[in-house]
Amino acid sequence: MSTLLAAVLTLALAITHSAASDNGPVHLNLLPSRNAARLRAEDVAEAQALRRDIIFKDFQRPGFQRRQTVKSDWTLSNRANSRYSVMMAFGTPPQDFLIDVDTGSSELWVYDNACTPTQCGAHSSGFDASKSSTYKDAGVTGEIQYVSSYCRGPAGFDTIGITNGRTGSERATTLVQQQPFFRCNDSTTTQSEHEAPGNLGLAWYTIRGQTPLWLNLVDGWQDKRFSMYFARQNDSAFSPPEYRSSNGGVLTLGGINTELFVGDIDYIPMSNRTYRNNAPFFWEIPVDGAEYGGQTFAARSVAIVDTGNPFTSVPSSVFQAVYANLPGAQLTRSEGSRYAFPCRSASQLQPLTITLNRRQYTIPAVDLYIVASASGTTCYSSLDPVEDSYDE
């Protein structure tokens, strides 16, 4: 048994945003360059051989096919610099929905048309399976359990893909036929109109047993990578609806869009803990330590690159060092164990530095708090605390 310092960080959001304030975006690729071919030829093949469909184990996928694809760029929508969504098409004829991109899970689900406002908040107008000629019901009901919420509903298969949302000759779509997914008709994942009507999991299938869309597309890519660029927009949480425009970033399937950055890409090897029975689990990378206000937090740590989490989770010791001594700071449970403090106290925050693969990345002070009131007087911490250690 070895005790590790756990640092679960939403690095894809935090690092891209912090670098934008300094010398341009830092781009972290999710696959080590020297191991990219090995991951596809060995690890993924072995992972697929070991696959155990927990929810679909009694249902054979009918006529599975995939459409081959090469490198393609898809526009993301930005919601308050916290969540990013891509337009997806479900069924035949296609029903389009803006779906969150989430590297911290492998599930693909969309709200069901039968879901009531009580069950699904603002998303009671979801996917209507009865209007899709290609939908196949799995005959089972599944549940996706998150840390503090769930999504429950019928499992099935359909023609699903990422689209530009246009019509006629201008429409572009990358499709997988008979892709497994959930129609969520009972959920506590959202009670707000600001949440997307579904989730596109971009982690590995071993988290829940469902093969994610990207693994069903990857054989058609000459370059076995996908990447995301997150545009940063107005910092106000009270921006008008047009703030959530389609110009929120880019999801690139089958490569990297070199027009979106300058300089070199930092490649960070995935941690050994990422594998369970020789199969990948999360996009998990090693962390060498952190530094704040002259205080060093050095340990063997790991981080999950999770684009579905709008906050950065750090060990509670780091969390306390950043916020506990701010004038007027109070820990509030109503906001998920976050500190609330007068926004004037934010001027005393300092940059937080995280070391990955022996290189330092700085999160500027402006990214360590969120303005939480229209008047601009109350702010909340943008970091979440997690336990400092766990046993492996």
- pLDDT tens track for 276-330: 566 677 898 889 999 999 999 977 678 889 998 888 888 889 999 999 999 999 9
| pLDDT attached to residue 186 | 83
Cα–Cα distance for residue pair 193/241, rounded to 1 Å: 11
Domain that holds residue 86: 33-252
Q: Please, which pLDDT band fits residue 166 given cuts at 50, 70 and 90?
A: confident
Omega prior to 197 cis, within 30 of 0: no
Considering the domain architecture, whether residues 217 and 316 belong to the same structural domain is answered as no
Average pLDDT over residues 117-128: 75
> 267 pLDDT exceeds 60?
yes
Most confident of 22-31, 216-225, 372-381: 216-225
| pLDDT attached to residue 151 | 82
Single pTM value for the model: 0.77
- The answer as to whether 271 is a domain residue is no
Number of domains, the chain: 2
Tokens 């919420």 sit on residue? 149
Q: Please, which pLDDT band fits residue 207 given cuts at 50, 70 and 90?
A: low
Q: Residue 83 in contact with residue 103, Cβ under 8 Å?
A: no
| pLDDT attached to residue 83 | 84
b/e per residue, 126-151, with b = 16+ CB within 10 A?
A: bbebeebebbbebeeebebeeeeeeb
For the chain, give the mean pLDDT.
75
| Strand bridging mode 226-230 / 284-292 | unpaired
Considering the domain architecture, whether residues 229 and 292 belong to the same structural domain is answered as no
Q: Please, which pLDDT band fits residue 119 given cuts at 50, 70 and 90?
A: confident
- The answer as to whether 277 is a domain residue is no
Cα–Cα distance for residue pair 365/327, rounded to 1 Å: 16
Q: Please, which pLDDT band fits residue 89 given cuts at 50, 70 and 90?
A: very high
Average pLDDT over residues 343-371: 93
Considering the domain architecture, whether residues 19 and 38 belong to the same structural domain is answered as no
- The answer as to whether 164 is a domain residue is yes
- The answer as to whether 263 is a domain residue is no
